[in-house]
């Protein structure tokens, strides 16, 4: 083979590898994993004064990432027949990834998540196992039922609680305030996002969009109320937190209003993407509320950068 032929073959192999990598990243909705990591930082810092012990934090990030990505893959695995009709370009219906390979990847990621949680604490393991059950129930059965948004909100609730689980038992600080109620508020917000997104591949019902948006706003309002309830919190922290939540809410609404006025799929999907990225900003606001450390809060908020950047190349919804 000539040098030119070798170069062409090498270029084709490189292109093929990049396409395959992109297919797997699309299957996992990889940009959205940064929202799950932000939850872990929030939960951890609600029960710790700093990011130490770093070993526990890293293990919890591994647990959350594994379970979240597994949930995304199983979602497409169970939806492969529906996607063949509505979204034929997805990795499984397009033939870029086989159903067997997807199921194997999802199972491996789920096992990885559980193992990482087991390295942290008994409470972390129990929460991870609860997440496994709820993820599979949602992906296989609950998604298209009225329980779908509640189940997805429950997954987000448990993810924040997973971050709070280091070094405690189920009867300990993990399930007490403030982590419990902050996690509940985040769960309500994500339930609203899920409700809003239920028909994103079709022409959405305006009433459904309004209900989903109202539910998400209720979650944000819950976070604002909790800024008052967290004990021994300096008043300055509360004002900064309220201001941050107000700015974030306005940013979300800039995307929600056009989608509600014209529920076309591309507008709804853009609004859903904005709502998902907002999870990181809400987590960062509550991190500041609890810690009062702007550097830590900014570092958490910075997770929105890789999520948004990768989201231009890989779909997030």
| Residues 44 and 51: beta-carbon distance below 8 Å | yes
The H helix count followed by the E strand count for the chain is 13, 0
Averaged pLDDT for residues 251-279: 94
26-41 per-position pLDDT tens digit: 999 999 999 999 999 9
Confidence at residue 114, expressed as pLDDT on a 0 to 100 scale: 98
Spatial distance between the Cα atoms of 177 and 287, rounded to a whole number of angstroms: 14
Closest CA to 48 of 150, 121, 142: 121
Q: What whole-number distance in Å separates Cα of residue 301 and Cα of residue 241?
A: 13
Confidence (pLDDT) at 246 = 96
Give the model confidence (pLDDT) of 167-177 as tens digits.
654 444 456 66
Tell me the C-alpha distance between 139 and 148, whole Å. Answer: 9
Query: Which residues, 6 or more positions from 158, have their beta carbon under 8 angstroms from its beta carbon?
Result: 127, 130, 131, 134, 183
Burial state string for 220-255 with b = 16 or more CB within 10 A and e = fewer than 16:
bebbbebbeebeebeeebeebbbebbeebbeebeeb
Q: Is 41 exposed, middle or buried (0-12, 13-18, 19+ CB in 10 A)?
A: buried
Q: Is the pLDDT of residue 16 over 80?
A: no
Residues 202-215 have pLDDT tens digits of 778 899 999 999 99
Locate the domains of the chain by residue range: 21-311
Residues 113-168 have pLDDT tens digits of 999 999 999 999 999 999 999 999 999 999 989 999 999 999 999 999 999 998 65
Per-residue pLDDT of 63-102, as tens digits, reads 999 999 999 999 999 999 999 998 899 999 999 999 999 9
pLDDT, residue 284, reads 97
The pLDDT value recorded for residue 8 is 38
CATH number of the domain at 21-311, please? 1.10.357.140
What is the model's pTM? 0.91
**Given the structure tokens 């700015």, which residue do they identify?**
247
């Amino acid at each position: 083979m000539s040098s030119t032929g070798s170069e062409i073959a090498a270029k084709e192999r490189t292109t093929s590898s990049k396409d395959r990598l992109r297919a797997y990243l699309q299957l996992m909705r990889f940009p959205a994993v940064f929202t799950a990591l932000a939850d872990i930082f929030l939960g951890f810092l609600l029960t710790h004064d700093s990011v130490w012990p770093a070993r526990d934090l890293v293990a919890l990030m591994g647990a959350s990432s594994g379970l979240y990505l597994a949930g995304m893959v199983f979602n497409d695995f169970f939806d492969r027949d529906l996607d063949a009709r509505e979204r034929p370009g997805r990795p499984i219906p397009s033939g870029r990834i086989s159903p067997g390979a997807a199921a194997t990847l999802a199972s491996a990621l789920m096992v990885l998540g559980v193992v990482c949680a087991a390295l942290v604490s008994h409470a972390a393991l129990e929460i991870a196992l609860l997440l496994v059950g709820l993820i599979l129930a949602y992906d296989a059965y609950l998604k298209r039922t009225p329980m779908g948004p509640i189940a997805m909100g429950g997954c987000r609730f448990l993810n924040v609680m997973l971050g709070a689980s280091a070094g405690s038992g189920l009867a300990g600080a993990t399930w007490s305030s403030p982590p419990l109620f902050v996690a509940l508020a985040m769960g309500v917000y994500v339930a609203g996002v899920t409700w809003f997104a239920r028909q994103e591949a079709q022409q959405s019902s305006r009433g459904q969009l309004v209900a989903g948006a109202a539910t998400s706003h209720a979650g944000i309002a819950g976070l604002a109320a909790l800024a008052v309830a967290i004990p021994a919190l300096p008043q300055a922290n509360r004002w900064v937190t309220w201001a941050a939540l107000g700015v974030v809410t306005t940013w979300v609404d800039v995307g929600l209003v056009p989608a509600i006025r014209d529920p076309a799929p591309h507008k709804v999907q853009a609004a859903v993407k904005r709502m998902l990225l907002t999870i990181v900003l809400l987590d960062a606001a509550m991190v500041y509320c609890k810690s009062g450390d702007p550097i830590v809060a900014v570092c958490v908020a910075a997770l929105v950068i890789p999520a948004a950047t990768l989201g231009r190349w890989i779909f997030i919804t």
